[in-house]
Amino acid sequence: MTHLKDKVPEKIGRIVEIAYNLWWSWTPEARGLFRRLDYPLWRKTLHNPVQMLQEISPLRLQEAAQDATFIRQYNKVMILFDETMRNQGSWFHQTYPELTDKTIAYFSFEFGLHSSLPIYSGGLGILSGDHAKEASDLGLPFVGVGFMYPQGYFRQRIPSHGWQEAVYQQLDISQAPVLPVLDENGREMRITVNLGGRSVHARIWHVRVGRNPLYLLDTDVDENEPWDRELSARLYSGDSETRIRQEIMLGIGGVRALRQLGINPAVWHMNEGHSAFLTLECIRELVSQGKSFEEASAIVKRQSVFTTHTPVPAGHDAFGFQIVEQYFNGYWDELGISREHFLSLGGHEEEWGMAFNMTVLALKLSGQSNGVSKLHGQISREMWQEVWPDKARADVPITSI
């Protein structure tokens, strides 16, 4: 970001700030500003302002800084941006002024914000991205937590033999609207999570989504072994062991990242079960402060919200007890419970036998759970009635939106 600030004339210098805030992506006036700056380059970079400012000629920037029409448009955009960032007239601030310091932490495996940040693959990510954008517009005190996937989603290629091939393209992070989070000494901030007896480190990237931050974990750091560096390379690995390692890093590592950033959420929202291990980490923190497991889990349950997406059993992540024991051996001691109690938190009969189901864990440790539509809420109550065997199907506490 610094090198772009040095490149852009001071008169239009804050256009760099706009480029690094995805607010521009849903604000027509801001998109129009970049189009006016260099329309062919805007098209060539696939509407990526950061890449565009890197590639644009200094001469064109000087011309824009002297163009009265461009300056008028630039000033209008900056006024709109500053009014938005002040967050004084937003719906949430006007309606719930007493709650403006109650942060909502929103965890998701993917966020579909813009194609310049390809860390999503489908509806789950688009919903997460829309929630992040809408939270900004409404003025909600919102912070997102996810993964930086340098290889993102794959692109389809159909060669002559007719079978689909998946082609992964490496994201040039320097051209993405992300910045590293630095500590007080100017070094990249790190969090550490124990994965199967080995310390795995992650740096934290910061994405500005309007008024709110999104933090992305990235294990591709020098301190890690090659296998661990690949952990956050791609979205949705088909390998069960990689998946549980990713979900531990997102849930447990995400909580630790927020703590290190000085953020203490009032609400923890899990968008699908991938991040459900965050509930265990929050319980572990409270147990370490002297609470019993029962007291800690009751507190965490009051603070936790879960959204389920998948209407078919096969779409819910479940791990064999053996691999769960491999990665959580000793962790249950920190929770003050037995191995058997720990496994029962996610215990569920799958087609292939008893397993640790992430949706079951999230449902048991969330105070509120919902589906993504009225019909999906009904289906979810039918699917998960066994979690509340003493309740009638209509009374299963899964609502809908």
Render pLDDT for 139-171 as a digit per residue (tens, 0 to 9).
999 999 999 998 877 778 888 888 888 777 889
With pLDDT > 90 as the criterion, what percentage of the chain qualifies?
Answer: 84
- Of the candidates 373, 374, 399, 294, the one whose C-alpha atom is nearest the C-alpha of residue 384 is 399
**Average pLDDT of the residues in 177-186:** 96
More confident residue, 48 or 162: 48
Mean pLDDT of 285-314: 95
Burial category of 97 from C-beta neighbours within 10 Å (exposed 0-12, middle 13-18, buried 19 and up):
exposed
The model's pLDDT over 254-281, given as tens digits with 9 standing for 90+, comes to 999 999 999 999 999 999 999 999 999 9
How many Cα neighbours within 13 Å face the side chain of 272?
A: 20
Give the pLDDT confidence score for residue 209 in this predicted structure. 99
Long-range pairs of 288-296 with CB within 8 A, sequence gap ≥ 24 = 288/334, 292/336, 293/335, 293/336, 293/337, 293/341, 296/335
pLDDT over 90 (residue 292): yes
Residues 33 and 18: beta-carbon distance below 8 Å: yes
Q: Is 156 helix (H, G, I), strand (E, B) or coil?
A: strand
pLDDT at site 280: 99
pLDDT of residue 236: 79
Q: How many CA atoms lie within 13 A of 17 on its CB side?
A: 12
Closest to 281 in 3D by CA, of 194, 340, 368: 194
Kindly report the pTM of this predicted structure. Answer: 0.95
What is the Cβ-side half-sphere exposure of residue 205, based on CA atoms within 13 angstroms? Answer: 23
Stretch 310-323: mean pLDDT, rounded? 89
Q: How many CB atoms neighbour CB 166 within 10 A?
A: 10
Tokens of 120: 């999503």
DSSP state of 188: B
CA-based nearest residue to 397, from 360, 354, 358, 368? 368
In 3-state terms, what secondary structure has residue 86? helix
Give yes or no for residue 39 having a pLDDT over 80.
yes
Using 50, 70 and 90 to split pLDDT, how confident is the model at 5?
confident
Q: Choose the weakest-confidence range: 15-24, 82-91, 232-241, 291-300.
A: 232-241
Residue range 24-47: mean pLDDT, rounded: 98
Paired with 399 in beta bridges are 370
Question: CB–CB of 249/219 below 8 Å?
Answer: yes
8 A C-beta contact, residue 205 and residue 215:
yes
Q: Which domains does the chain have, with CATH numbers?
A: 2-86 (no CATH), 104-148+172-275 (3.40.50.2000), 300-401 (no CATH)
Whether the CB-CB separation of 194 and 253 falls below 8 Å is answered with: no
